[in-house]
A and B are shown apart, each in its own frame.
Chain A
Amino acid sequence: MKRVAVVGVGQTKFGEHWNSSLRDLSTEAGALALKDAGVEGSSIQALYIGNMSAGKFVSQEHLSSLAADQSGLLPIPATRCEAACASSALAFREAYMSILSGQYDIVVAAGAEKMTDIRGETASAALMGAADQEWESAIGLTFVGLYALLTRAHMQSFGTTREQLALVSVNNHKNGALNEKAQFPFEVSVEQVLKSPMIADPLRLLDCSPITDGASAVVLASEEAARKFEKPVWIAGSGQASDALALHDRQSLTEMLATKAAAKIAYGQAGLSPGEIDVAEVHDCFSINEILAIEDLGFCEKGKGGSFVEKGNIARDREMPINATGGLKSIGHPVGATGVRQIADLVRQLRGECGKLQINGAKTGLALNIGGSGATAVVHILKAE
């Protein structure tokens, strides 16, 4: 199979951008990615942009053309991809496949979300568009609530503890404290997590990723085109899978079957096993989701995710560094931008450009981006060579 590389990455600071609009953020991230790649806009042949809900957050649909226009890329084809919080991993995958198909040589994949122009409770209701409107949103469920249901089931089945969940946030904040792009660049203690306000039992405020504005972009190139760039990082595997939209329709509440299916494809394509991954970016929208990811990506046995975290295995200097740049928890979670932000961070790790957050000698990286409460999972594996 032909190979595709990521040759440039860009990310706005994540946080509350009172002075920047959705179009400003998209344009900034794109410009940063092109600058990083050292490529002219005239070389870009197509744009794929992930965005969950600009229609609800800023009443703007048809974001694809808007982003192409604002970035000065007209008249290239621009496509918006949506799978809730996995929207930009989808955009990245579509961009990857468009090059694999032979149509293009240089393509931009981006993600953008502007969430703070509406009130928090309205944003919360908008996010519930990613769940089952008729049977989950209609009864007053929230995303914290959905993940709380998964948390309770995991605690019941495997004895996962509140402290273990808290340690996920502690780890990610410890990393994010050193990330200048992070929304919340500070450390938190187990005690702080356990004393933070209860949002949906047993999940507390500091188990939850925040509402964030931000955008991210990467430049992808075909094998041939990539030779002209300085530091290509190669896409070794790309898997995507689906599960039932509603939690009550799932076969299991203690595993993400979509993650397992997507990971199996990605590992197979990359010819790698979980033990051969040097660094992973996983979707810690809520603390339980990192524990589920650790298990379902095969970093440990099912049910042992809590103790895996408790043993400190996910720290930057340990065997399986996870969310080494801060994760969704500390960096922030502009839902449609997260998937490409994960890819960008992995690329910087594999290039050895992460400074204090660098995982020394990292050659392989995995990104898991999840949509909704697990109905979409997208796994990408990147290799330095």
Chain B
Amino acid sequence: MTYKSSVPMFWRLQGSKYRLVGTRCTKCNSVFFPPRSLCPKCRRKGTVEEMTFSGKGEIISYTIIRTAPEGFEKYVPYAVAIIKLDEGTNISGQIVGNNIEGMAIGMRVRPVFRRMFEDGDRGLIQYGIKWEIDKGDSTS
């Protein structure tokens, strides 16, 4: 549980956790979220730079967790999906909000900001991005 109770481990990732700062390789244009510091394709011949992802994408697989690991009990049942981001890379994320039971592969999602984890009553509250089903109706 080190990651979840370590302040520096979380702090280091805040940009990525809070607003999807990833990286891209300037040589081959591969994009990375979660960020990578070395492009696996170009290795030392490539250079990576920061790139912020929109968070919009679609579900390519999903599940609903009904038996949670330590620290996630109060969120049960919660949905987790692998999301293909529009920029062209995949990320795992929780899906919240409406239509969880009607979730399906191919559905569009958009990012929302939520609490991810609380380190007990005294420790840090970790925030981050979760996703909700995007029916394209929010600004109509």
Direct contact of A and B (CB under 8 A): yes
Closest residue on chain A to residue B129 by CB atoms: A139
Chain A residue numbers with a CB within 8 Å of B46 are none
Closest residue on chain A to residue B82 by CB atoms: A248
Interface centre among B69, B82, B116 (most CB of A within 10 A): B69
Q: Is the CB of A140 within 8 A of B61?
A: no
Instruction: Say whether, besides A125-B1, A153-B60, A142 and B69 are in contact (CB < 8 Å).
Output: yes
Flag the segment in A73-81, A196-204, A377-385 that touches B: A196-204
Judge whether A249 is part of the interface by a CB distance below 8 angstroms.
yes
Closest residue on chain B to residue A148 by CB atoms: B63
Closest residue on chain B to residue A248 by CB atoms: B90
Q: Give how many A-B residue pairs fall within 8 Å (CB-CB).
A: 111
Q: Is the CB of A138 within 8 A of B117?
A: yes
Assembly CA distance A245 to B124 (angstroms): 27
Which of B4, B70, B92, B126 is the one whose CB lies under 8 Å from A141?
B92
Q: Is the CB of B78 within 8 A of A140?
A: yes
Q: Is the CB of B70 within 8 A of A121?
A: yes
Instruction: Say whether, besides A139-B93, A156-B105, A253-B60, A200 and B3 are in contact (CB < 8 Å).
Output: no
Judge whether B107 is part of the interface by a CB distance below 8 angstroms.
no
Assembly CA distance A197 to B73 (angstroms): 17
Instruction: Say whether, besides A134-B3, A149-B61, A248-B82, A124 and B75 are in contact (CB < 8 Å).
Output: no
**Chain B proximity mask over A111-155: 1 for CB below 8 Å, otherwise 0:** 000000000011011001000111111111110110011111100
We find that the number of chain A residues with CB closer than 8 angstroms to chain B is 37
Judge whether A370 is part of the interface by a CB distance below 8 angstroms.
no
Judge whether A182 is part of the interface by a CB distance below 8 angstroms.
no
**Chain A proximity mask over B56-94: 1 for CB below 8 Å, otherwise 0:** 000011111111111111010010111100000111111
Measured between C-beta atoms, what is the minimum distance from A359 to chain B in Å?
A: 35
Judge whether A247 is part of the interface by a CB distance below 8 angstroms.
yes
Interface band, chain B:
35 or more
Instruction: Say whether, besides A150-B61, A156-B105, A201-B63, A121 and B80 are in contact (CB < 8 Å).
Output: no
Assembly CA distance A139 to B105 (angstroms): 20
Closest residue on chain A to residue B130 by CB atoms: A139
Assembly CA distance A149 to B4 (angstroms): 23
Interface centre among B72, B75, B82, B90 (most CB of A within 10 A): B82
Q: Is the CB of B94 within 8 A of A139?
A: yes
Q: Is the CB of A139 within 8 A of B92?
A: yes
Instruction: Say whether, besides A145-B80, A149-B80, A136 and B66 are in contact (CB < 8 Å).
Output: no
Assembly CA distance A138 to B114 (angstroms): 13
Q: Is the CB of B63 within 8 A of A125?
A: no
Chain A residue numbers with a CB within 8 Å of B63 are 145, 148-149, 151-152, 200-203
Q: Is the CB of A253 within 8 A of B78?
A: no
Measured between C-beta atoms, what is the minimum distance from A132 to chain B in Å?
A: 8
Q: Is the CB of A141 within 8 A of B60?
A: no
- The list of the 3 closest CB pairs from A to B, nearest first, reads A148-B63, A140-B72, A248-B90
Other A-B pairs beyond A128-B69, A142-B68, A201-B63, 9, CB < 8 Å: A133-B3, A138-B4, A139-B80, A153-B60, A200-B63, A246-B34, A247-B92, A248-B82, A248-B83
Residues of A bordering B, CB below 8 Å: 121-122, 124-125, 128, 132-142, 144-145, 148-153, 156, 197-203, 246-249, 253
A-B contact pairs, 21 of them (CB 8 A): A121-B73, A122-B70, A124-B69, A124-B70, A125-B69, A133-B3, A138-B4, A138-B117, A139-B93, A142-B67, A142-B69, A145-B65, A153-B60, A199-B67, A200-B65, A200-B67, A202-B63, A247-B92, A248-B90, A248-B91, A253-B60
